[in-house]
Chain A
Amino acid sequence: DAKTTQPPSMDCAEGRAANLPCNHSTISGNEYVYWYRQIHSQGPQYIIHGLKNNETNEMASLIITEDRKSSTLILPHATLRDTAVYYCIVRVAYNNNDMRFGAGTRLTVKP
């Protein structure tokens, strides 16, 4: 069973914030939320991860709800190069073998 649910596609205007939602209502207490993206057919790229606190790095911000059942990845100023498939993944911190890439959200940034 899929651990996460994401919309299949979203559009965003260049320069605006892109907010990508993810539902993970069955998340366990020891599971983290990870985000990766894949530009065209390139290798997936790690973006950010978090457990329960909001996180920010040079690429994005991750907002996790207090009950941890959903999260939002925020790209503050989307550019055309951010057009990609974004994957929300829930897994325990110590186990990369528990990483399940679903269908993700195809984000299209438009000029």
Chain B
Amino acid sequence: EAQVTQNPRYLITVTGKKLTVTCSQNMNHEYMSWYRQDPGLGLRQIYYSMNVEVTDKGDVPEGYKVSRKEKRNFPLILESPSPNQTSLYFCASALLSGYEQYFGPGTRLTVT
């Protein structure tokens, strides 16, 4: 089944403790991206990747890192999480930039 998977789905952590949210797609898509969704602010893009080893900032990249070492994986790294990063995170992929995006199920992160 074609899909985008994220792990973990739920995470409660403390301020400053590094964490990684994994994202994987099995559709051989070149384009991948990360969004966060907050009440009243909608979905906002954090980072995106046009292809392996090619990443760039979205609208709200501060406090996040990403890497794209292989086509199927696009992990989101929070080096020192803070409470304002408490949010619902979605990973998405597309065949190419401009094609429709397929979204993962989401990761609900709480930073205390």
B: interface residue count bin? 20 to 34
If A45-B103, A101-B42 touch, does A95 touch B97 (CB 8 Å cutoff)? yes
Q: Are A44 and B98 in contact (CB under 8 A)?
A: no
If A96-B48, A101-B42, A102-B42 touch, does A43 touch B97 (CB 8 Å cutoff)? no
Please name all residues of chain B whose beta carbon is closer than 8 Å to the beta carbon of A101 when the two chains form the complex: 35, 42-43
Please name all residues of chain B whose beta carbon is closer than 8 Å to the beta carbon of A94 when the two chains form the complex: 97-98
Residue B88 lies at the interface, judged by CB distance under 8 Å to chain A: yes
In terms of DSSP, what is the predominant structure of the interface of chain B? strand
- Most chain A CB within 10 A, of B56, B94, B98, B106, is at B98
Please name all residues of chain A whose beta carbon is closer than 8 Å to the beta carbon of B42 when the two chains form the complex: 100-104
Q: Are A97 and B101 in contact (CB under 8 A)?
A: no
- In the complex, A93 Cα to B99 Cα: how many Å? 7
CB distance from A28 to the nearest CB of B (A): 15
Residue B74 lies at the interface, judged by CB distance under 8 Å to chain A: no
Please name all residues of chain A whose beta carbon is closer than 8 Å to the beta carbon of B108 when the two chains form the complex: 41
- The contact string, 1 if C-beta is below 8 Å from chain B, for chain A 32-48, is 00100000011111100
- The contact string, 1 if C-beta is below 8 Å from chain B, for chain A 81-111, is 0000000000011111101111110000000
Please name all residues of chain B whose beta carbon is closer than 8 Å to the beta carbon of A45 when the two chains form the complex: 103
In terms of DSSP, what is the predominant structure of the interface of chain A? loop
- In the complex, A105 Cα to B16 Cα: how many Å? 37
Q: Are A97 and B45 in contact (CB under 8 A)?
A: yes
Please name all residues of chain A whose beta carbon is closer than 8 Å to the beta carbon of B103 when the two chains form the complex: 43-45
Select which of B43, B58, B100, B102 is within 8 A of A49 by beta carbon.
Answer: B100
Q: Are A43 and B90 in contact (CB under 8 A)?
A: yes
Residue B81 lies at the interface, judged by CB distance under 8 Å to chain A: no
Q: Are A43 and B31 in contact (CB under 8 A)?
A: no
Q: Are A41 and B88 in contact (CB under 8 A)?
A: yes
- Most chain B CB within 10 A, of A43, A49, A93, A99, is at A43
Q: Which 3 A-B pairs have the closest CB atoms?
A: A43-B103, A46-B100, A94-B98
Q: Can you give 6 A-B contacts (C-beta < 8 A)?
A: A41-B88, A42-B106, A94-B98, A95-B97, A97-B48, A97-B58
